[in-house]
Amino acid sequence: MANIHIYDSTLRDGAQAQGISYSVEDKLKIVERLDALGVSYIEAGNPGSNPKDLEFFARAANLKLTHARLIAFGATRKVGTPVAEDANVRSLLKAGTAAIAIFGKSWDYQVLEILRTTLDENVAMIADTVRYLKQQGKELVYDAEHFFDGYKANADYALRTLAAAAEAGADSLVLCDTNGGSFPDEIHEITRVVRERFPGIAIGIHCHNDSEMAVANSIRAVQAGATQVQGTINGLGERCGNANLCSIIPNLQLKLGHPCIPDGALRHLTSVSRSVAEIANMLPNDKAPYVGSHAFAHKGGMHIDAVVKNPISYEHVNPELVGNSRRVLMSEVAGRSTVLARINAIDPTLAKDSPETRRIIDRLKELEHEGYQFEAAESSFELVVRKMLGRHTPFFELVDFKVIVDEPSIDGINSSAMIKIRVDGQEEITAAEGDGPVNALDKAVRKALERFYPAIGEIRLTDYKVRVLDSDKASAAKVRVLIETSDQHDDWTTIGVSTDIINASWQALVDAIEYKLLRDREGRRVA
């Protein structure tokens, strides 16, 4: 099968997603992760659009990349401007990359109504820019913007623009579904036509996800002869996003046998996905294929039983191939054998039909009926089991706490908490201020405990979710709080349920701290 060159645009097209604003340091970190993944190209920005990208390219020149080539991205020369005098073209050369991507118009409507120039002048702009940059010794990727819409409107002109780039020396012609509205059969047929029309040049595909077909469209383009696939990690991009490389790469490499990245690199895919989300300050998509935390999670009892016997019964690939892992979720529908496996991790002597096992399963069902959801908070589930088996001694005891909320806030501080705890007969009283009552309470309890357990200083609250469980009761409704906590090694999630949001938050906070201390005492990592 043909090798497919993966062209990553997370730092350029991905940066156009709502809510994304990379710093130069962010971009450098992402480049290193993408290079380790083994992508062929990293389109890292438009040096003609902002000084931040110019600074990035200056600093990126010192990077020692193993697999990827950095690409500076920009437009063809402007209407009526000599190419050597065009400021954007000069900035592309100033970026100092060995490869450059140029985009030009393929749709006659865009040429006449957006550029407001003639069809002949647009062709000349493409040819002049490609030829000039090739004369400077650059590898040249030509992106045919709006190609599929242009082809459907005026196939002869769309192909003429490609011919201009090819004859001027472009190393690859990339067909762009810029509006993201094409269907897979259209992508396949038009890519096939282009492949036959330009047999001596590499064909690429660049899809947007406005009709949720970007991944499928990219795959169909490869099946029609494309050998370069553009996209972004996690599908980041403007509007509905770009084609998601975290799905495209394993689909091509595992399912279709097309080598995309080096052997063994695929196991880094999940960590790259999550690190890019973290750097971009976005929550990972738990339901993402291949790399999401739900991608190989099993909850139903019959499903779990089948997966234990043979994973292929409910898993289309081995999760380890993409660096993910199988998760068996704790719930009232998980089945007795599943719950027993978790219980046996704490007490291997308990049997499936023992009174203790039946009592724990009954309690699990009661708690889920009350609103607890342990599939997202398995750390709290472990603590419940340990307490029911008499295998957990609390690390501290709450005497009392008081939370005060003052409005308006001053510099983001609007709450204070005072707490009294007891550890081995010794009492500690502390107070703290915070941005909201939960933040103040979190700071106060950790300050109180650090004297007894210095490791508390390693943890931080990384996510906080609240869900109203019975909204028909209005402000008296029961709420479920999920708190995600992390230290330098792991992260874990705990849960609290109450009609009082502060009390629910306190339950989850206590479990988070108890779990950290328990795990450290036993010298283990989070499962």
Residue 379 is predicted with a pLDDT of: 85
Strands 491-498 and 139-145, by their bridges, are unpaired
pTM: predicted TM-score of the whole model, two decimal places: 0.72
Tell me which CATH homologous superfamily contains domain 397-522.
Alpha-isopropylmalate synthase LeuA, regulatory domain (3.30.160.270)
List CB contacts of 135: < 8 A, sequence separation 6 or more.
none
Residue 331 is predicted with a pLDDT of: 55
Please, where in the chain does CATH 3.20.20.70 lie? 5-262
Multiple choice CATH, 5-262, 3.40.190.10, 2.60.40.10, 3.20.20.70, 3.10.129.10: 3.20.20.70
Spatial separation of the C-alpha atoms in residues 180 and 294, rounded to whole Å: 27
Spatial separation of the C-alpha atoms in residues 41 and 36, rounded to whole Å: 12
Average pLDDT per block of 10 residues along the chain, 527 residues long? 94 93 92 96 90 90 94 96 96 96 97 97 98 98 98 98 98 98 98 97 98 98 98 97 98 97 93 89 89 84 72 89 80 58 78 81 81 76 87 90 85 88 93 90 92 90 83 73 85 90 92 91 64
* DSSP-derived 3-state class of residue 26: helix
CA geometry: angle 316, 321, 322, nearest 5 deg: 90
Please, where in the chain does CATH 3.30.160.270 lie? 397-522
Residue 527 is predicted with a pLDDT of: 43
Residue 304 is predicted with a pLDDT of: 65
* Nearest to 508, CA basis, from 525, 490, 476, 485: 485
List CB contacts of 105: < 8 A, sequence separation 6 or more.
111, 114, 115, 122, 145, 146, 150, 161
Strands 5-8 and 41-45, by their bridges, are parallel
Place of tokens 């039983």: 305
Our measurement of the distance from residue 131's CA atom to the centroid of its chain's CA atoms, rounded to an integer in Å, reads 38
Count of residues in the chain? 527
